Amino acid sequence: MAALDELEREYEKAKRDSKFQKRLEELLRTYAGRPTPLFFARRLTHKLGGARIYLKREDLLHTGAHKINNCLGQGLLVDRMGKHRVIAETGAGQHGVATATVCALLGFECVVYMGTEDMRRQELNVFRMRLLGAEVRGVESGSRTLKDAINEAMRDWVTNVRTTHYLLGSVLGAHPYPTMVRDFHRVIGREARAQILKAEGKLPAAIIACVGGGSNSIGIFYDFIKDKKVQLIGVEAGGRGEALGEHAARFRGGSPGVLQGTFSYVLQDSGGQIALTHSVSAGLDYPSIGPEHAALRDAGRAEYVPASDAEALKAVTLLARTEGIIPALESAHAIAEVVKRAPTMKNSEVVIVNVSGRGDKDIGIMRENLNLD
Amino acid sequence: MPLTFYSKPGLVAYVTCGDPDLATTREIVLAAIEAGADVIELGVPFSDPVADGPVIQRASERALKHGTSLGQVLTLAAEVRQHAQSTGLIVFSYLNPILRMGMEKFCRVSRAAGVDGALVTDLPVEEAEEYLRAMRGNDLAPVFLAAPTSPDDRLKRIAEASRGFVYAVSRTGVTGARQQLADDARKLVKRLRRVTKLPIALGFGISTPEQFAEVGEFADAVVVGSAIVETVERNRGREAAAVGEFVSGLSAFSSPPSAHSKSPRRSKDARYGAPAS
């Protein structure tokens, strides 16, 4: 608790510190590559024959996904707290890579925890982290994926809390993480809102984003929450079936529970044990969901739908061949949803899809699963 | 029964219920009581034991493989209570299984089983309003963890919400036996004494009679967890006997209350009542 209180205090101070904000903005711009483009997907729009589709290109950010927005923000807090060691959990590896990147940039010792199952399916990212100077520790317990990596990172943190900052990668965990991580990703939606008004002179009818922990989605949703006519659609991992253990769709069969410091919707059994989950995409393979998403869903402000492994894989090929963009498997879930939704909408309506990351890390899985003719 | 420490230092024994199975756990618990344990912590296995090291993680995984549940642990508590009238029984669980059962139901069933209190590992005192109401209403003692990193005002808050005893965590870290007791431990107990009159039990990492005796010099009770769970792991087929021997070895270093004071060390309100501090 003391560490959480300290983090909250430092974060609140930093929020009001214009020097901090300037430094963060400068790094986002000159190092990470912000602002990211909002791209009109002409061929995809034509092919689906409905709404006009814009893609928010978080895949073009340095390290290949939106994760670095949050890593830069938290990275700048580490010094302020007098710490020199950073730990992180990672699922698909993108957050791990972004953390290792920022630690190399700012000169911190870095340890990343990753489930051994995820290490196998995201080998490219494991190598990148090590090349960047981070130590990657494989986690063998439980399902050997993201939630197990978080358990191990939390154990490290409580043990080394005086010297170490836990750079959590999504809008999960105890307060202040869900709020702070969302704030660091708000730039996505802030940019997209200005960009779409410039391009179309009006707000979109809908915004679609994939939801694992929920960072990229809350990042793009947040500045549109007040625009009541804009539908917010989160896409969860529908996996390979509806039975518990075959997917990671928290709003399909999950119920309120506490996991890893957060009270939210959790996939669990009747005894309150946390369920195993499945998704072809490591980054969506997590049994709980950011509490702000739970609140938006319960308030009826956002809706959450699943996309299956098969639908996501199909969407990869579609986007690659229609727009020349290979999305990460996570982001492909959002593409899968626009494939279903755009044809039901008018051409005068605009949809923005968040492409949260690029697909290089997934080449191995794609090779196993895609039949390229 | 009130949570009472009959010797100095008292001994709190933790077991992961369901490892290797519930029947054996019952035997282990009774053996520990026979050998001198004043309070038993009945550990409820959880899928994501974030505060536990590898020993308790492994035990939890084994226990969950047979489907050990919170409900079954409470049934076990009732069975133990029938054989042990004066031992304190605490349910030690993460929050989610309790939430799933329902806070009120959990408390009712616990009270009916003869449980004295509970310790919910990942429920900080700041989030415990509903829990404290339910515990109070069912005459159960809420035990909280105090950490070396807790500032004084938080220690005070923890102490005020606690009943029965305060569980002081000996070091920053997770459960698991260690060679040396950290400096953190003495300092924490000293700071706690300033804010509570409740007995203070120190835990995490204690596994040898020497450590037990050392902690006994400044704490009212010693919690032994992973060392017991590991004894169970390493003595398949004779778990209860092995734990009995281990606990006897520790309580040999305790003195009965007459050597130090007139009566057993206990809080005036071991069950829920007026605050002791």
B51 shares contact with chain A (CB less than 8 Å): yes
- Whole-angstrom CA distances from B28 to A29, A264, B96, B226 are 62, 37, 26, 14
Distance CA B184, CA A236 (A): 44
Name the pairing type of β-strands A85-90 and A164-166.
Answer: parallel
Give the closest residue to B65 by CA, choosing from B11, B18, B120, B16: B18
Structure-token pair, residue B223: 């919690």
B199 shares contact with chain A (CB less than 8 Å): no
> Residue A140: beta bridge partners?
none
- Whole-angstrom CA distances from B260 to A331, B230, B254, B256 are 68, 32, 11, 8
Contact A272 B154 (CB under 8 A): no
What are the strands, taking DSSP E only, across B129-229?
A: 141-143, 145-146, 166-169, 200-203, 221-224
User: Which chain A residues contact residue B98 at CB under 8 A?
Assistant: 272
CB A337 within 8 A of CB A235: yes
Mean pLDDT of chain B: 90
A2 shares contact with chain B (CB less than 8 Å): yes
CA dihedral B73, B74, B75, B77 (to 10 degrees): 90
Alpha helices in chain A (DSSP H): 2-16, 18-27, 42-48, 68-80, 94-106, 116-121, 123-131, 146-160, 177-200, 215-221, 291-298, 309-323, 329-341, 363-369
Contact B96 A258 (CB under 8 A): yes
Q: Comparing A154 with B171, which gets the higher pLDDT?
A: A154
Active site residue A323: no
Three-state DSSP class for residue A339: helix
Contact B51 A259 (CB under 8 A): no
A200-214, B12-26, B138-152, B167-181: which range is least confident on average? B167-181
Active site residue A281: no
Distance CA A134, CA A102 (A): 10
CB B263 within 8 A of CB B257: yes
| DSSP H or E stretch at residue B73 | helix B70-83
CB B271 within 8 A of CB B141: yes
Q: Name the CA radius of gyration of chain B, rounded.
A: 17
pTM for this entry? 0.93
Distance CA B134, CA B196 (A): 23
Contact A2 B149 (CB under 8 A): yes
Taking residues A93-117, what's their average pLDDT?
Answer: 97
Structure-token pair, residue B69: 């549940």
Q: Number of residue pairs across A and B with CB atoms under 8 Å? A: 80
Question: Quick check: B2 pLDDT over 70?
Answer: no
A139-148, A320-329, B44-53: which range is least confident on average? A139-148
Q: Comparing B3 with A327, which gets the higher pLDDT?
A: A327
DSSP string, A108-141: -EEEEEEEHHHHHHTHHHHHHHHHTT-EEEEE-S
Question: Which residue in B has a C-alpha nearest to residue A147's C-alpha?
Answer: B48
Q: List the catalytic residue out of B19, B41, B116, B239.
A: B41
Distance CA A91, CA A282 (A): 5
User: Which chain A residues contact residue B57 at CB under 8 A?
Assistant: 141
What is the DSSP code (8-state) at residue B129? H
Structure-token pair, residue B183: 């400096």
What is the DSSP code (8-state) at residue A329? H
ipTM above threshold 0.95: no
Distance CA A277, CA A237 (A): 9
Q: Which of A150, A160, A261 minimises the CB distance to B122? A: A261
The tens digit of pLDDT for each residue in A174-208 reads 999 999 999 999 999 999 999 999 999 999 999 99
Q: Rounded to a whole number, what is the distance in Å from the CA of B19 to chain A's nearest CA?
A: 16
Distance CA A205, CA A352 (A): 8
pLDDT band at A41 (very low <50, low <70, confident <90, very high): very high
The tens digit of pLDDT for each residue in A267-319 reads 999 999 999 999 999 999 999 999 999 999 999 999 999 999 999 999 999 99
Q: What's the pLDDT score for residue B251?
A: 86
Q: What's the pLDDT score for residue B256?
A: 76
Phi-psi region of A173 (alpha: psi -120 to 50; beta: other; left: phi over 0): left
